[in-house]
Structure 1
Amino acid sequence: MSVGIMSVNSQGFIINCNSSLKKLLGLNQLTHIRQLEKIDPKLAKLTNSIEASQEKTVTIICKNGQVTLLIKASSFKSNNEQLKLISMQDIRKELDEKELDSWLKLIRVLTHEIMNSIAPVTSLSENLCNQFVKEGEPINANEIDEELIKKTIQGLRVIREQGQGLTRFVENYRKLTRLPKPEISEVLVKDLFEKTLILFKSQYCDTQIIVSIELENDSQTIRVDVGQISQVLINLLKNAVDALTGIANPKIILSSRANKKDGIMISVTDNGSGISPEIIDEIFVPFFTTREDGNGIGLSISKQIMHMHKGSIKVKSTPNTETVFSLFF
């Protein structure tokens, strides 16, 4: 994939740029950042404000159609002049491929869950029907005995349970598509953590695992929907507790620290069983779960909530050593 590159001075003049950048943006000449305003004001503003070591994405429409640009910046000196080196790369194809892959994974899981519910219902209903039919005709009433009635009732109960299970599955799917818009407010991270732990302990009061809090400073604040982010943290804490089953000296750490410029990273760390490399890329797929009693939507909802906060959630895991879920704001 070709990458567009340009060097810019402090006045916004473009000292050098390669042909790939001109081709990417559909321009014949590029001498100043202000020219980017004709393509899209967002692109000009982002290019002018991006700082060294930052990377950002922006979707624009230019002569080549709609493109999603990944923009990265670094700084260097040339003839005692401080310059900014900016690269631009169209990642639309990669995003489309990731989106398609995510949909395929979701479809596989949905198909698996639905077939697991429907197949036994189809088989059982056919079996029950055969009990009441002989040579294509309904049996006589005097052929229906107590044993047949018992079998029929048992079969109908199983069909009812499978139907209820499928209904719950559909309700869980609806939860994924009906998340409310975040109501953002500024809150102390310390208060957010304390409220989350109170809610967590009220739901999982039987756990003996101590959750430690590590704050970079007590005055650190964050702009979030407190209810939604508490929901995310409670889900991560619950997963950590499950992973610590049977672990000697179980530990969970809820921590926060500054992340790049004006950003905050909140982490939930445990020393439990961890996540195997084979499935770590699947855990955010809706309805994917390794637990018999799990519904597989907790991490999917958490990822959506973080996306609505213009943030992200990432995980690193070394099985039987340490697992860290990090929220980036």
Structure 2
Amino acid sequence: MEQVLEYIRGQKEAVIEWWLNEVDKEYPLFYNLDKLREHGKLYFDLVTAVHIPVKEHPLFQHLPEWCQILFLKKVPIVHVMHSSHLFRQSVFKALSDAPLDEGKLMKVLAILSERIDTYERQVTQYYTVHAHAQLEDQEQRLGEMHDDKLNLIGKMAASMAHEIRNPLTSIRGFIKLIRDRLPEESLALVENYIHIIETEFDLIQSQITGFLTFSKKPVEENFVLLNVREQIQSALVLINPLLINNNIELTVDLPHEMMFYVQKTPIQQVISNLLNNSIDALGSVSGERRIWITGAEDEHWITLKITNNGPKIPDGIQHKLFQPFVTGREHGTGLGLAICKKIMDNHQGDISFRSTDNETEFILQFKKKGYGSITF
């Protein structure tokens, strides 16, 4: 075996030059060939010093340092692995016509391949560990940026809500005065108009409540056990005129006894937002327009689904649909679904969706058990 090793070591220059040539063909002008030649010599010594276990070889101790240099220079792992494969091929090529005993040659080549495999495993492990760490760091920074954005939106929302609520309080007071001061016969003539004003007023109040979910202080409202069907009906009171005007068929299929533990006003805001979005989506449908609401429960979750047969949500925004200011509507603010997500997070629940060419469905999930131990 020593004779075979001596022959291989004598082919060092030929092996390295063939390897350099192949690397340069695969990745032209990507590497400094003079520096790569020096690295190749070290790698050759590591691979062929079979009398020293590869992990105990002095050069192997420098492997983490080499890997770090490659990683920081953003050398792709595929380059590293491919160049190592080319190095193995160069060794085989140099020995293809060697005047050596074939049996002994194969044994030596098997040993050399095992040492190359050990090197490749170590490099792959280093890249994997550090790539994961880098991804986690990036995710953390993105999370911090997202939190900063939400905090900014929160301050804007709180300020805007304060400015809007002052005149709204006056409006509500004057509506009450009108009801109290008008004679019954006159009130009867304008009752429908007053009712519409009150309905729209409640809708604005609901929107403000949603905006406040972005403020640092969540909406202060107790969690209560409510009937899901009754909560849906409360939300429908505000949008029934829109359903009628847009010729939309609404179906509600919910168990009468289904209950969930929620903050009433914010959850009504979620349901109203999703229903309004469905109505907007159906505006482009020329045929039958349908919205259907279904629910189910298991041991752990209450699941509520709001589905419409409108067009598909554009692929380009699906992955970021719940982020602030992302919208597929021409005049949308991009806050509605972000508000829904924030409210569901406050409830330790979840909101998701699926969208095809024929229908779009939003899924709300609420924790069913352990209400007493949940801190909101």
Alignment TM-score, normalising by the size of structure 2: 0.42
> Which structure has the greater CA radius of gyration?
2
Task: Write 1 or 2 for the structure with the bigger share of strand.
Answer: 1
Alignment TM-score, normalising by the size of structure 1: 0.47
